[in-house]
Amino acid sequence: MFHAEAPARGLVVYVHGGFWRRFDKSFWSHLAEGPRQLGWSVAMPSYPLAPEARISAIAESIAEAIATLARRIAGPIRLVGHSAGGHLALRMISEGGPLAPDVASRIERVLSISGVHDLRPLTLTRMNDDLRLSDEEARRESVVLGAPFPGVPVTAWVGAMERPEFIRQSRALIEAWRVQGANIDLHVEPGRHHFDVIDALASAETEISRCLAL
């Protein structure tokens, strides 16, 4: 937890990436500074990793962490995730997600940065040796195939220098959720790629921090 200096406006939860297989909370502490300076308490949970945990179980772990944090921090909740973390953040506000309704009702914005929104292509990769995605689980956990909670603003943020698949995934989410009435927009940031698109969260003066925290 990284607490705001004054009484917090609410809670920001950052969900890290690593294709559900790598990293933990200790790698990302500096990214709390932007939203923290803008008045939010910021939490960065770790979660169990594949292959020990399936993606559905990882999503349940994030939901449990958010529920625990929600009991400690009053006010609205904003979620931000990078890569696989973008998927996990959006899973909290998608149909059949693991978050309890009383907690989900407090979520007022979600930012998916270079998110993985369609898991079906992963079943054809060597990565699936660890992820162990079946066709059925890949469909069930793909937020692009589900319905979003109504009324929660969502931004899909992606670098213009990303690999084409990440840009496609963000555009696919926009198309799939917008036709269902979601309040969703796409931001393509010039000059950024998958590994530096999150860096600007470390400053309160950047567009991505303002998108998340204002």
Domain for residue 3, yes or no?
no
Domain for residue 82, yes or no?
yes
Assign 132 a pLDDT band (cuts: 50, 70, 90). Answer: very high
Domain for residue 5, yes or no?
no
Cα gap 118→126, rounded to integer Å: 17
Cα gap 147→211, rounded to integer Å: 23
Assign 36 a pLDDT band (cuts: 50, 70, 90). Answer: very high
Alpha carbon of residue 123 to chain centroid: 21
DSSP 8-class letter at 191: T
Secondary structure of 73-114 in the HEC alphabet? CCCCEEEEEECHHHHHHHHCCECCCCCCHHHHCCEEEEEEEC
- DSSP-assigned states of every residue in 172-185: HHHHHHHTTT--EE
Domain range enclosing 76 = 11-213
Question: pLDDT tens digits for 155-213?
Answer: 999 999 999 999 999 999 999 999 999 999 999 999 999 999 999 999 999 999 999 99
Domain for residue 63, yes or no?
yes
At residue 88, the pLDDT reads 98
Phi, psi of 185 (to 5 degrees): -140, 160
Residue of 13, 138, 151 whose CA lies nearest to 86: 13
Q: Where are the alpha helices (DSSP H) in the chain?
A: 33-37, 55-72, 84-91, 101-104, 128-131, 135-141, 164-178, 207-213
The mean pLDDT of 15-30, rounded to a whole number, is 96
Give me the number of domains the chain comprises.
1
**Amino acid symbol at 170:** S
The dihedral over CA atoms of 138, 31, 23, 109, expressed in degrees to the nearest 10, equals: -20
Domain for residue 59, yes or no?
yes
Domain for residue 2, yes or no?
no
pLDDT tops 90 at residue 58: yes
The mean pLDDT of 30-52, rounded to a whole number, is 98
At residue 5, the pLDDT reads 86
Percent of the chain with pLDDT over 70: 100
pLDDT tops 90 at residue 76: yes
pTM listed for this prediction? 0.97
pLDDT tops 90 at residue 109: yes
Contact between 88 and 118 under an 8 Å Cβ cutoff? The reply is no
Q: What is the CATH number of the domain that holds 204?
A: 3.40.50.1820
Cα gap 92→197, rounded to integer Å: 22
Question: pLDDT tens digits for 5-21?
Answer: 889 999 999 999 999 99
Domain for residue 6, yes or no?
no
DSSP 8-class letter at 190: T
Domain for residue 83, yes or no?
yes
